[in-house]
Amino acid sequence: MGATATLRRHVVETIKKLDQQRHELKALRYLLDFFPQSMQNRHALPSREDFQISDCQRIYDVLLSAKTQDDATKAIADLDVEDTDIESFLRLGGKFYHSYPQMVKERGKDFRAGTVKVVVPGE
């Protein structure tokens, strides 16, 4: 293995927390808009661990446990989260975000492999 290949293995891509949160919220909004059908193929869904933002993990937990779209929407509205404007999230439409759940799933693998890291600018 050459020096270049070794160097590439140790490069870690960074993504701003706000950008990651935006991607995850779009994925969740798509899943909510097309609930419950969007949650039926569990193999195709991102896992909870694929979500890096704790608010998004909590929203995902609601989607996993809800029986109907109305139940999910009400439970999400009742969440006490730190970094997410839930009212704004619920006003969004998710019909154009069909690719985001897969992107979150793929990116989750990169986070677990250590090749991508969330950063908060200024920290």
> What residue numbers bound the domain in which 38 lies?
16-119
Residues 74-104 have pLDDT tens digits of 999 999 999 999 999 999 899 999 999 999 9
Q: What percent of the chain has pLDDT over 90?
A: 85
Give the Cβ contact number of residue 28 at 10 Å. 30
> Of 12, 10, 22, 33, whose CA–CA distance to 103 is shortest?
22
Number of domains the chain contains? 1
The H or E element spanning position 115 is none
Q: 1 is written with which tokens?
A: 């293995």
Least confident piece of the model among 1-5, 48-52, 79-83: 1-5
Alpha-helix runs per DSSP H in 10-85: 17-33, 54-65, 69-77
Strand partners, 15: 118
Note whether residue 2 is domain-resident. Answer: no
Mean pLDDT for the stretch of residues 7-29: 87
Does residue 68 lie in a domain region? Answer: yes
At residue 67, does pLDDT exceed 70?
yes
Residue at 95 is within a domain: yes
**Beta-strand relationship, 13-16 and 116-119:** parallel
In a domain, 9, yes or no: no
* Residue 2 predicted with pLDDT over 80: no
Contacting residues for 15 by C-beta, under 8 A, at least 6 apart: 116, 117, 118, 119
- 71 occurs within a structural domain: yes
Q: Is residue 1 part of a domain?
A: no
| Average pLDDT over every residue of 65-80 | 98
pTM for this model (two decimals): 0.88
